[in-house]
């Protein structure tokens, strides 16, 4: 639900003041109780004749400086606009306290300014100057270039501590304007696309205290601007609660996760997901063994040529380098990894470079260059299918050509390769669009499997 600083701004933004029909509030079981209560509260306040934000004066001061027809909040990055709001809130609090309020630098948050590249530092300083000029339009007496260094620190703090506020969005449901929870009709077929969209940027002092893990035990979600945390598993007393700052095991390999966290947050992740051997890190981009009876993974060169992790990312993981010591993983995880790469557990002194192109179970060799060429050719038909599905211009000939390419991918890539699952999803959508729901279900099952 959008919040406005005043009824005037609300009317200027959408042309009229909307009322929400209480009868349109979702009642089906696929809507959480918290969300129902939130919608009911917003509906009541909207229909009562009092703008939601008007009942909270602090929200008016929070972004009053962005109103009046200025365009810079829409042009500057979200974290810079957020820095402006934090700065303005501090100024307003300082006015009320007769100058007793500390500077914006008093935010009890860490920053990584000292680890930034010269280019990033220059960018922050430029944004600080621009933001100072913009905020001066509303607070000329309180803002000057002499406080630029404090604003640079504030922006640095926000860059590593702010959280993206995300909501779930169903485009199909929005197009239909219905809230029945049923699958919507698109081109005479039943499709339902749900995605997580970024709707804002915010600072949460308590939320910033949570450490990162690539295998988090806490999930963060939002209702309006309120942050909620829920554990996703049983957490023993005294065990840390950890969220994901973005990368997670299974969504990217170790090299990519480490690089993202080091570039954005300037730390090297040492969570359980990065200090232990994970099945997904082996197979997420792996090729299949040339022997049909072998389920082993073949490591491609792209998995080991990391820029910052050295030549061998698997040797960089302590549990693989020191297999003579007990592995800090349970038996199930060890068995899962051993199913596709049991040689890693038997040849701890061998570098992965010696196994490049060889199956990690039986050492059978796969020609990497010819395999990559086969994948590139197969992707031509796959991308054509995905493009036609987006434009809703599909026919069975395109699908049949893409199915032949899928067979090539299945013969070349490992069954657990993430790209295979993504392609299966594309086929599920394509068959759904032409009304072949049975085939769509089969490809959905293949993707999940």
Q: Read off the pLDDT band of 320 (50, 70, 90).
A: very low
Percent of the chain residues past pLDDT 70, beyond the cut: 69
pLDDT score of 3 more than 60: no
* Across 58-67, 241-250, 316-325, 433-442, least confident range: 316-325
More confident residue, 356 or 130: 130
The pair of structure tokens assigned to 277 is 């051997």
Among 96-105, 184-193, 214-223, 324-333, which range has the highest average pLDDT? 214-223
d(CA 203, CA 215): 23
pLDDT at 253: 84
The candidate with the shortest Cα–Cα distance to 303, out of 286, 279, 316, 320, is 286
d(CA 16, CA 432): 39
* CA distance readout (Å), 204 to 53, 158, 182: 19, 10, 35
Q: Give the pLDDT mean for 187-203.
A: 67
pLDDT score of 42 more than 90: no
pLDDT at 242: 92
pLDDT at 148: 85
How deeply is 228 buried, as exposed, middle or buried, from its count of CB atoms within 10 A (0-12, 13-18, 19+)?
A: exposed
pLDDT at 85: 87
d(CA 235, CA 237): 7
Q: Read off the pLDDT band of 274 (50, 70, 90).
A: confident
Percent of the chain residues past pLDDT 90, beyond the cut: 27
How many other β-carbons are positioned within 10 Å of the β-carbon of residue 209? 11
More confident residue, 34 or 98: 98
pLDDT at 190: 47
d(CA 49, CA 17): 9
Long-range contacts of 141-147 (CB under 8 A, 24+ apart): 142/91, 142/94, 143/87, 143/91, 147/103
Please give the model's pTM, rounded to 2 decimal places.
0.70
How deeply is 51 buried, as exposed, middle or buried, from its count of CB atoms within 10 A (0-12, 13-18, 19+)?
A: buried
Q: Give the pLDDT mean for 244-269.
A: 88
More confident residue, 421 or 278: 421
Q: Read off the pLDDT band of 243 (50, 70, 90).
A: very high
Is 310 within 8 Å of 258 (Cβ atoms)?
Answer: no
Q: Give the pLDDT mean for 397-407.
A: 93
Q: What is the pLDDT of residues 347-378, one digit of tens each?
A: 555 444 455 788 888 889 999 999 999 999 99
pLDDT score of 27 more than 60: no
pLDDT score of 7 more than 50: yes
Among 75-89, 274-288, 329-343, 368-382, which range has the highest average pLDDT? 368-382
More confident residue, 57 or 79: 79
pLDDT at 38: 60
- Between β-strands 195-202 and 163-169, what pairing exists: parallel, antiparallel or unpaired? antiparallel
Rounded to the nearest 5 percent, the helix, strand and coil shares of the chain are 50, 10, 40
């Amino acid at each position: 639900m959008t919040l406005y600083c005043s009824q005037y701004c609300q009317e200027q933004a959408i042309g009229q003041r909307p009322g929400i029909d209480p009868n349109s509030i979702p009642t089906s079981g696929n809507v959480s109780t918290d969300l129902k209560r939130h919608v009911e509260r917003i509906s009541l306040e909207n229909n009562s004749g009092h703008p939601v934000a008007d009942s909270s004066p602090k929200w008016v001061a929070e972004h009053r400086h962005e109103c009046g027809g200025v365009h810079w909040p829409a042009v500057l990055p979200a974290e810079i606009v957020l820095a402006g709001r934090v700065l303005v809130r501090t100024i307003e609090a300082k006015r009320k306290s007769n100058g007793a309020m500390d500077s914006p630098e008093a935010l009890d948050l860490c920053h990584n300014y000292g680890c930034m590249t010269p280019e990033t530092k220059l960018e922050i300083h430029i944004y600080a100057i621009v933001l100072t000029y913009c905020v001066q339009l509303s607070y000329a007496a309180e803002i000057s270039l002499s406080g630029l260094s404090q604003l640079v620190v504030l922006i640095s703090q926000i860059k590593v501590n702010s959280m993206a506020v995300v909501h779930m969005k169903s485009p199909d449901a929005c197009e239909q304007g219905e809230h029945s929870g049923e699958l919507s009709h698109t081109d005479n077929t039943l499709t339902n696309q749900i995605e997580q969209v970024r709707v804002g940027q915010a600072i949460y002092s308590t939320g910033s205290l949570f450490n990162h893990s690539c295998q988090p035990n806490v999930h963060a979600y939002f209702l309006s601007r309120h942050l909620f945390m829920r554990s996703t598993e049983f957490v023993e007393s005294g065990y840390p609660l950890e969220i994901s700052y973005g990368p997670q095991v299974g969504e990217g390999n170790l090299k990519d996760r480490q690089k993202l966290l080091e570039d954005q947050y300037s730390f090297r992740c040492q969570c359980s997901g990065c200090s232990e051997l994970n099945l997904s890190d082996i197979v997420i981009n792996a090729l299949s063994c040339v022997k049909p009876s072998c389920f082993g993974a073949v490591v491609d060169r792209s998995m080991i040529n990391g820029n910052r992790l050295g030549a061998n990312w698997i040797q960089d993981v302590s549990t693989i380098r020191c297999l003579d010591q007990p592995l800090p993983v349970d038996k199930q995880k060890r068995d899962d990894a051993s199913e596709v790469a049991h040689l890693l557990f038997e040849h701890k002194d061998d570098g992965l470079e010696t196994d490049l192109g060889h199956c990690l179970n039986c050492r059978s060799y796969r020609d990497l260059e010819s395999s990559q060429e086969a994948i590139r050719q197969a992707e031509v038909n796959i991308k054509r299918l995905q493009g036609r599905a987006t434009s809703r211009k599909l026919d069975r000939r395109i699908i049949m050509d893409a199915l032949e390419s899928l067979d090539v991918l299945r013969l070349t890539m490992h069954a657990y390769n993430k790209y295979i699952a993504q392609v299966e999803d594309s086929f599920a959508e394509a068959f759904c669009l032409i009304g072949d729901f049975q085939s769509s279900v089969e490809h959905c099952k293949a993707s999940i499997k």
